[in-house]
Structure 1
Amino acid sequence: MDKFNNKYRIASARAYFWDYGWNAAYFVTICTQDRINWFGKVLDGKMVLSDIGEIAHKCWAEIPQHFPFVKLGAFVVMPNHVHGIVIIDKTETDLNVEAQNIAVVREQTQKFAPPSPTETQTQNKFGPQSQNLASIIRGFKIGVTKNARLLHANFAWQPRYHDHIIRDERAYHNISEYIIQNPVKWSEDKFYMS
């Protein structure tokens, strides 16, 4: 296990060679804390959503309203996790605006003090943390949490999420089918808890 600021930390699960703001399709799994079945239950191979499950479903569908460069693929809310495909599809205009925003932030930051040699060496290797997969998932989790806690104060997500970069049409089709079939195969799922 690595140390950061003299404390142990879990190494990132993100691919070190990949910028998660790049145009691509991503398969995402997000679990509830302690895999508690907050979102409902599976009956006869179909997901029956609880009120909190309805919130999760609604917040996922609203992602493109908050991130206009996102398209959504297959998605399912399961009792204690969600699976979905997030497609980042930035246009040339989106990319130009993003580059301008980064330049403005750097310029404003440099007005206060020039970066020290250690600051330049420790820049986030995953790039700016906006308009990327992490910011999309963070926004989704915040939206669900804020609304779910109005119904149950103890609702919480697992701190991390799992992602997989989808590399071709065949993988996209297979993952979509897996997501759609998830409720039917719930009792065989590694996240299954009765």
Structure 2
Amino acid sequence: MKNSKLPQRKNIRLEGYDYGSSGYYFVTINSREFRHTFGSIENKVMYLSPLGEIIVEEWEFTGELRQNVKLHEYVVMPDHFHAIIEIRYSRNKNNIPGEFKASKHTLSSIIRAFKASVTKRNIKMNPGDTKSVWHNRFHDRIIRNNRELQNKKRYVLNNVKDWKG
């Protein structure tokens, strides 16, 4: 039963789309309260904080850990993180041994695990800070063609030099 006093969140995912299917996704994850805790930009160069370095390590580990994921361009910004992620083949719909189970390989589950691992390491580094590093949600865009993929790659690669923060 939903509590009618709480605001109802709008589902931001594309209705009916299988977010575990093969394809490219552009993802943006904001820091909690949009704080500039991941580093700073000076003279069009991003200088990572220790937390920003953890984000890079955990994102790269995501690509190593998940056989069906290929990481493409990504950038850590002072208050957010952009990435292009490719889910390389569909989830296991036939329950074939050795293939992936559905729930662990959707875009949401990949991002949730990444966010959790970064937060866990931040809590170890800063024991008094037990809150999540991240904003509760993340934004994604399904990349539908090669032109859009190239545009998103350019956007990610130019994000630091275009920063107006």
Q: Does TM, scored on the shorter chain, surpass 0.5? A: yes
Mapped contact 2:118–2:133 kept (Cα < 8 A): no
Give 1:155 deviation, angstroms: 5.2
Mapped contact 1:38–1:155 kept (Cα < 8 A): no
Q: What is the aligned partner in structure 2 of residue 146 from structure 1?
A: 120
Mapped contact 2:31–2:134 kept (Cα < 8 A): yes
Structure 2 alignment gaps of length 5 or more: 97-101
Whose helix fraction is larger, Structure 1's or Structure 2's?
A: 1
- In 2, Cα distance between equivalents of 1:40 and 1:6: 38
- TM-score, length basis structure 2: 0.87
Q: What is the aligned partner in structure 2 of residue 180 from structure 1?
A: 157
- In 2, Cα distance between equivalents of 1:148 and 1:47: 20
- In 2, Cα distance between equivalents of 1:135 and 1:54: 22
The DSSP-based 3-state class of the residue aligned with 1:130 is: helix
Please point out which of 1, 5, 21 is paired with 2:2: 5
The DSSP-based 3-state class of the residue aligned with 2:147 is: helix
The CA deviation string for residues 171-193 of structure 1, in whole angstroms up to 9 with x for no partner, is 00010000010011111xxxx3x
Give 4+ residue runs of structure 1 displaced > 3 Å after superposition.
none
User: 1:156 aligned to 2:133?
Assistant: yes
Give 1:150 deviation, angstroms: 2.0
Mapped contact 2:51–2:122 kept (Cα < 8 A): yes
Mapped contact 2:24–2:85 kept (Cα < 8 A): yes
- In 2, Cα distance between equivalents of 1:32 and 1:184: 20
Mapped contact 2:58–2:117 kept (Cα < 8 A): yes
Q: What is the aligned partner in structure 2 of residue 131 from structure 1?
A: 105
- In 1, Cα distance between equivalents of 2:132 and 2:47: 18
The DSSP-based 3-state class of the residue aligned with 1:42 is: strand
Give 1:159 deviation, angstroms: 0.3
- TM-score, length basis structure 1: 0.75
1:111-126 to structure 2, matched below 5 A, reads none
Mapped contact 1:28–1:164 kept (Cα < 8 A): yes
Q: What is the aligned partner in structure 2 of residue 56 from structure 1?
A: 55
Q: What is the aligned partner in structure 1 of residue 145 from structure 2?
A: 168
How many correspondences in the alignment?
155
- Select the structure of larger CA radius of gyration: 1
- In 2, Cα distance between equivalents of 1:176 and 1:133: 18
Letter in 2 for 1:73: H
CA RMSD of aligned residues (A): 1.7
Letter in 2 for 1:135: S
- In 2, Cα distance between equivalents of 1:134 and 1:89: 15
Once the two structures are overlaid, the 10-residue window that deviates more, 22-31 or 129-138, is 129-138
The DSSP-based 3-state class of the residue aligned with 2:83 is: strand
Give 1:49 deviation, angstroms: 0.3
The percentage of counterpart residues that share the same residue type is 34
